[in-house]
């Protein structure tokens, strides 16, 4: 299932964890776990806004919430 | 008298917050012993209880999502199970997230321990429309499954009874285990052969081999140390099959899907599907854009309707009043000092500070949209809209961050590995109008366009987006040859916005704004005042006028006077400087406010050209520094400045000349 998921992600398009969960017939929580596993193995990467640890005093911290959680495909994930 | 030995040991396992502690407390009551695991800071609890005449020892393992040694808790759990070998592991699963919980079961089934599954919160799952058939799941897994509502004590004793039965008849333990994908089974066997005889005591070689294929850090380090020179062939095999993780973990997910297929019917109602129902419209390719435009129009409309009158009041009653009081307060002081205080400091910084009500309203509105979860949908909708223009995937992330501030947004382009794609994103990101740039438009649009300010503002905000799309398309075709980069968003559930979170976000942004006003805007205001005052005390004969008039031929094409051109240039230090510079150069202060100073002097066509240039002009120096740093090229940075300058000038000239032809030039 993970390989199929990786192939599907490589095809691109507007992807959300919800839409992928529906497409693969699994729950959203399981899809999120699969994405986390792919990230752990280096196929995806969870996007962190700036890598700084001063969110509490950062004026832009609220903007971080704009995206929700985001995963991007790495070069390993796209097979390059 | 010593306590009798327990007949069985049952360990409790499960993910965090699934109700393990409730089960533990129900069974042991107060008879519990709390300590740390040897060599770890993680706490463990162990106790005893009687069940049908037998004394049973109960050990509460730390909550874990998997057994992959990603955390101390996961390491403790797997070490305890392998080394201490409890008679039965009672795994507590959350019915609401059953599939996710089964991943841990998929891992536990490879350990030398017998399992009983207790599915907790069956009532909550039923309330959310989930229908779970424990007996169907039991038949599929070949593992005893007991439904629980631990909070009410329901099913707990039945689960213990199932565990005792299993402990007494170990031959009945024939679970349906997940298998590694067929094409990697030989690799698994080969690794197992290579490590046999070297694995630590109690550890099954098959499990160790599987963990090596998964890339488990702790197991890899352990085996590397134990194998010594014999590690090389194992390492070679692992390198050759570096995709084995997909085969191992993928096998588990396939197994989960098979196990729940008949046993679980997912919800048709409840919180998740309510979010899905809203998203059906909010993320729709057409209606999603309509909703986004309506939401943004409402936000700006509200900001104009409430913020602009407040801003006007502050300007009249605070800034002008303060400026008018300066001559009296500084009686006897030289003229230049009075002028500096009234026009340079109060006129410049004060005018910028009057923006506060507008910014507070705007930030609060944005805070509501962000905290409710809507802005994630807005980003998603925008991403879809930009696909036809060659902008997609990773490039969209920094672009959407740019609304807050272009500097971290440019830095975010690091997520793009491919150099040309990264540079394109670095170039496009600062086109996104940041909050300070937007605030200049919000303040000046009502002055230039009166009742039509909202419509013109929306038009002005769409200008940068048009150029992002246009340049994105050109750059993408030139450098990327249509290559796609994928990304996935986890859209959060909609929630009621928290007043505390919004206040915190507004507070943080206001503090940032005030810090800017008290530092760089103050310095630029004073510098602009000095250049516009000296050498003769008259603005028309000042150094700035002398220099500004050099721009006259260009300014004429744009319908602007030199003061406006200078104001635009000072925005390169900080966007709000445009306002303070205009205030200083147009003499806003004691006699009249900025609105009055500008209203009579700038034709609508020139105002529109000016604001068009403002949103497209070269970004602030901090952003340019970020462009230089991230692109690692001075050439790219200067090329970028030239592109922005050329774009802003071309649009400014076009807007003014067309506006003039339409009769807006007077």
Domain CATH for B134: 3.40.50.300
Contact A27 B100 (CB under 8 A): yes
Contact A35 B100 (CB under 8 A): no
Contact A15 B487 (CB under 8 A): yes
Give dist(CA B212, CA B189) in Å, integer: 12
Contact B179, B185 (CB under 8 A): yes
Contact A17 B491 (CB under 8 A): yes
pLDDT score, position B416 = 59
> Which segments of chain B have a pLDDT < 70?
1-3, 30-44, 69-70, 267-273, 383-405, 408-409, 411-419, 421, 480-486, 516-517, 520, 539, 573-574, 587-593, 600, 665-666
B271 assigned to some structural domain: no
CATH number at residue B238: 1.10.287.1770
H helices of B417-452, in order, are: 419-428, 435-449
Q: Is the peptide bond before B356 cis (omega within 30 degrees of 0)?
A: no
**Does the CB of B489 have a partner CB in chain A at under 8 Å?**
yes
B2 assigned to some structural domain: no
Contact A50 B405 (CB under 8 A): no
Same domain, B303 and B419: yes
Q: From B486, which residue of chain A is nearest by alpha-carbon distance?
A: A12
Q: Using DSSP, state whether B270 is helix, strand or coil.
A: coil
**pLDDT band per the 50, 70, 90 thresholds, residue A75:** confident
Any residues with CB less than 8 A from the CB of B266 and at least 6 apart, and which? A27, B129, B130
Find where tokens 């067309």 sit.
B658
Q: Give the tokens for residue B591.
A: 């006699």
Closest CA to B652 of B568, B590, B596: B568
Give residue A47's region: left, alpha or beta (phi > 0; psi -120 to 50): beta
Give dist(CA B552, CA B245) in Å, integer: 67
The 10s digit of each residue's pLDDT in A3-61 is 899 888 888 777 888 888 888 888 888 888 899 889 888 888 876 554 444 555 554 45
Which string of DSSP letters, residue by residue, matches chain A?
-HHHHHHHHHT-SSEEHHHHHHHHT--HHHHHHHHHHHHHTTSEEE--SS--S-GGG-TTHHHHGGG-EEEEE-TTTTT-
Residues 299-358 (B) with a CB less than 8 A from some CB of A: none
Closest CA to B165 of B116, B238, B226, B222: B116
pLDDT score, position A80 = 59
Any residues with CB less than 8 A from the CB of B92 and at least 6 apart, and which? B12, B13, B14, B18, B19, B20, B23, B118, B120, B148, B150
Q: From A6, which residue of chain B is nearest by alpha-carbon distance?
A: B246
Alpha-carbon B500 to chain mean position: 19
B646 assigned to some structural domain: yes
For residue B231, count other CB atoms closer than 10 A to its CB. Answer: 18
Find where tokens 């985001």 sit.
A70
**Does the CB of B503 have a partner CB in chain A at under 8 Å?**
no
Contact B172, B166 (CB under 8 A): yes
> Who among A1, A15, A20 is closest to B253 (CB)?
A1
pLDDT score, position B10 = 93
Any residues with CB less than 8 A from the CB of B243 and at least 6 apart, and which? none
Cβ-in-10-Å burial (0-12, 13-18, 19+) of B229 comes to exposed
Q: What is the least distance, in Å, from the CA of A79 to any CA of chain B?
A: 11
pLDDT score, position B2 = 58
Q: Using DSSP, state whether B580 is helix, strand or coil.
A: helix
Task: Please measure the distance between the N-terminal and C-terminal CA atoms of chain A and give it in whole angstroms.
Answer: 21
Q: Which of B172, B202, B219 is the last residue of a domain?
A: B172
Same domain, B432 and B332: yes
DSSP H or E stretch at residue B467: helix B453-475
B482 assigned to some structural domain: yes
Closest CA to B460 of B356, B614, B579: B614
Q: Which of B135, B153, B172 is the last residue of a domain?
A: B172
Same domain, B603 and B519: yes
What pairs with residue B38 in β-bridges?
none
B3 assigned to some structural domain: no
B1 assigned to some structural domain: no
**Does the CB of A18 have a partner CB in chain B at under 8 Å?**
yes
Give dist(CA B469, CA B432) in Å, integer: 11
pLDDT score, position B87 = 93
pLDDT score, position B41 = 44
**Does the CB of B296 have a partner CB in chain A at under 8 Å?**
no
Same domain, B190 and B213: yes
Edge to edge, the sheet with strand B32-36 lists B32-36, B43-51, B54-60, B8-14, B88-94, B114-120, B145-147
Chain B residues with beta carbon closer than 8 angstroms to that of A24: 257
Rg value, chain B, Cα: 34
pLDDT score, position B391 = 57
Q: Which of B265, B289, B304 is the last residue of a domain?
A: B265
pLDDT score, position B517 = 67
Same domain, B162 and B212: no
Q: From A52, which residue of chain B is nearest by alpha-carbon distance?
A: B408
> Who among B279, B376, B487 is closest to A66 (CB)?
B376
Q: Give the tokens for residue B188.
A: 């698994």
pLDDT score, position B405 = 64
Give dist(CA B95, CA B105) in Å, integer: 14
Same domain, B465 and B504: yes
**pLDDT band per the 50, 70, 90 thresholds, residue A62:** very low
Complex ipTM value: 0.82
pLDDT score, position B571 = 79
Give dist(CA B516, CA B27) in Å, integer: 61
Same domain, B291 and B251: no
pLDDT score, position B40 = 45
What pairs with residue B90 in β-bridges?
B12, B116
> Who among B98, B370, B411 is closest to A62 (CB)?
B370
DSSP H or E stretch at residue B225: helix B217-227
Contact A70 B488 (CB under 8 A): yes
Distances (CA, A) of B334 to B277, B338, B525: 69, 7, 19
Same domain, B410 and B438: yes
Q: What is the least distance, in Å, from the CA of B394 to any CA of chain A?
A: 7
Burial B267-293 (b: 16+ CB within 10 A, else e): beebebeebbeebeebbeeeebeebbe
Q: What is the least distance, in Å, from the CA of A51 to any CA of chain B?
A: 9
Same domain, B515 and B424: yes
**Does the CB of B131 have a partner CB in chain A at under 8 Å?**
no
**Does the CB of A40 have a partner CB in chain B at under 8 Å?**
yes
**Does the CB of B215 have a partner CB in chain A at under 8 Å?**
yes
Contact B511 A25 (CB under 8 A): no
Contact A66, B401 (CB under 8 A): yes
B195 assigned to some structural domain: yes
Contact A1 B279 (CB under 8 A): no
Contact A28 B373 (CB under 8 A): no
Find where tokens 């004394």 sit.
B55
Chain B residues with beta carbon closer than 8 angstroms to that of A59: 404-405, 508-509, 511-512
Q: What is the least distance, in Å, from the CA of A55 to any CA of chain B?
A: 10
Same domain, B192 and B84: no
Same domain, B397 and B534: yes
DSSP H or E stretch at residue B94: strand B88-94
Q: What is the least distance, in Å, from the CA of A39 to any CA of chain B?
A: 11
pLDDT score, position B654 = 93
Q: How many CB pairs under 8 A join A and B?
A: 176
Residues 50-69 (A) with a CB less than 8 A from some CB of B: 50, 57-63, 65-69
Report residue B51: phi and psi, to 5°. -140, 115
Contact B376 A20 (CB under 8 A): no
Same domain, B190 and B160: no
> Who among A14, A45, A50 is closest to B384 (CB)?
A14
Tally of domains in chain B: 3
Contact B89, B108 (CB under 8 A): yes
Distances (CA, A) of B14 to A37, B90, B93, B365: 18, 8, 6, 41
B216 assigned to some structural domain: yes
Question: Is the pLDDT reported for residue A63 higher than 50?
Answer: no
Give dist(CA B249, CA B103) in Å, integer: 9
What domain range includes position B212? Answer: 182-265
What is the crossing angle of helices B435-449 and B577-585, to 10°?
A: 40
């Amino acid at each position: 299932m993970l390989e199929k998921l990786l192939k599907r992600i490589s095809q691109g398009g507007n992807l959300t964890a919800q839409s992928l969960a529906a497409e693969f017939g699994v729950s959203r929580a399981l899809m999120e776990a699969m994405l986390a596993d792919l990230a752990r193995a280096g196929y995806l990467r969870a996007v962190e806004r700036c890598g700084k640890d001063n969110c509490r005093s950062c004026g832009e911290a609220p903007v971080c919430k704009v995206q929700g959680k985001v995963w991007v495909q790495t070069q390993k994930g796209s097979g390059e | 008298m010593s306590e009798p030995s327990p007949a069985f040991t049952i360990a409790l396992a499960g993910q965090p917050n699934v109700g393990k502690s409730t089960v533990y407390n129900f069974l042991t009551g107060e008879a519990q012993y709390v300590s740390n695991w040897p060599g770890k800071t993680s706490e463990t609890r162990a106790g005893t209880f009687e069940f049908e005449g037998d004394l049973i020892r109960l050990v509460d393992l730390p909550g874990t999502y998997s057994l992959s040694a990603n955390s101390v808790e996961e390491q403790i759990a797997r070490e305890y199970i392998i080394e201490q070998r409890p008679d039965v592991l009672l795994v507590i699963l959350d019915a609401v997230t059953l599939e996710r919980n089964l991943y841990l079961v998929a891992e536990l089934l490879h350990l030398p321990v017998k399992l009983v599954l207790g599915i907790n919160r069956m009532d909550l799952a039923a309330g959310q429309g989930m229908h779970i058939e424990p007996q169907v799941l039991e038949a599929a897994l070949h593992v005893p499954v007991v439904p629980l509502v631990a909070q009410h004590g329901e099913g707990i004793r039945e689960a213990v009874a199932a565990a005792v039965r299993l402990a007494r008849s170990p031959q009945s333990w024939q679970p349906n285990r997940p298998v590694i994908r067929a094409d990697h089974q030989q690799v698994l066997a080969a690794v197992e052969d290579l490590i046999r005889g070297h694995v630590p005591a109690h550890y099954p070689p098959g499990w160790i081999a599987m963990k090596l294929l998964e890339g488990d850090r702790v197991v890899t380090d352990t085996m590397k140390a134990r194998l010594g020179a014999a590690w090389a062939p194992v390492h070679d095999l692992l390198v050759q099959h570096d995709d084995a993780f997909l085969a191992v973990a993928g096998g588990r997910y396939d197994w989960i899907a098979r196990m729940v297929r008949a046993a679980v019917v997912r919800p048709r109602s409840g919180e998740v599907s309510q979010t899905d129902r809203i998203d059906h419209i909010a993320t729709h390719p057409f209606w999603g854009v309509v909703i986004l435009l309506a939401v943004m129009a409402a936000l700006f409309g509200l900001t104009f309707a409430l913020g602009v009158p407040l801003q006007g009041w502050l300007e009249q009653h605070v800034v002008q009043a303060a400026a008018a009081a300066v001559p009296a307060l500084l009686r006897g002081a030289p003229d230049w000092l009075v002028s500096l205080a009234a026009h340079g400091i109060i006129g410049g910084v004060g005018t910028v500070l009057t923006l506060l009500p507008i910014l507070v309203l705007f930030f609060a509105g944005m805070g509501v949209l962000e905290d409710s979860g809507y802005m994630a949908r807005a980003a998603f909708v925008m991403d879809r809209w930009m696909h036809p223009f060659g902008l997609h995937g990773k490039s969209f992330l920094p672009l959407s961050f740019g609304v807050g501030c272009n500097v971290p947004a440019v830095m975010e382009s690091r997520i793009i590995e491919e150099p040309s794609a990264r540079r394109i994103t670095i170039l496009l990101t600062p086109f996104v109008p940041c909050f300070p740039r937007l605030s200049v438009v919000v303040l000046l649009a009502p002055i230039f366009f009166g009742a039509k300010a909202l419509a013109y503002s929306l038009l002005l905000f769409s200008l940068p987006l048009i150029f992002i799309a246009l340049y994105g398309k050109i750059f993408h075709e030139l450098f990327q040859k249509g290559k796609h980069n994928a990304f996935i968003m986890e859209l959060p559930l909609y929630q009621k916005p928290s007043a505390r979170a919004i206040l915190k976000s507004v507070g943080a942004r206001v503090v940032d704004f005030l810090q800017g006003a008290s530092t760089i805007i103050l310095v630029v205001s004073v510098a602009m005042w000095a250049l516009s005052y000296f050498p003769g005390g008259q603005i028309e004969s000042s150094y700035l006028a002398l220099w500004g008039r050099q721009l006259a031929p260009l300014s004429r094409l744009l319908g602007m006077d030199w003061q406006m051109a200078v104001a635009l240039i000072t925005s390169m230090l900080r966007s709000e400087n445009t306002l303070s510079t205009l205030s200083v150069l147009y003499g806003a202060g004691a006699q009249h406010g900025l609105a009055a100073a500008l209203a009579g002097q700038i034709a609508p066509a020139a105002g529109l050209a000016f604001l068009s240039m403002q949103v497209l002009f070269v970004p602030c120096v901090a952003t340019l520094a970020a462009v230089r740093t991230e692109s690692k090229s001075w050439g790219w940075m200067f090329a970028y400045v030239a592109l922005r300058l050329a774009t802003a000038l071309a649009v400014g000239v076009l807007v003014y000349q067309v506006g003039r032809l339409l009769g807006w030039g007077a």
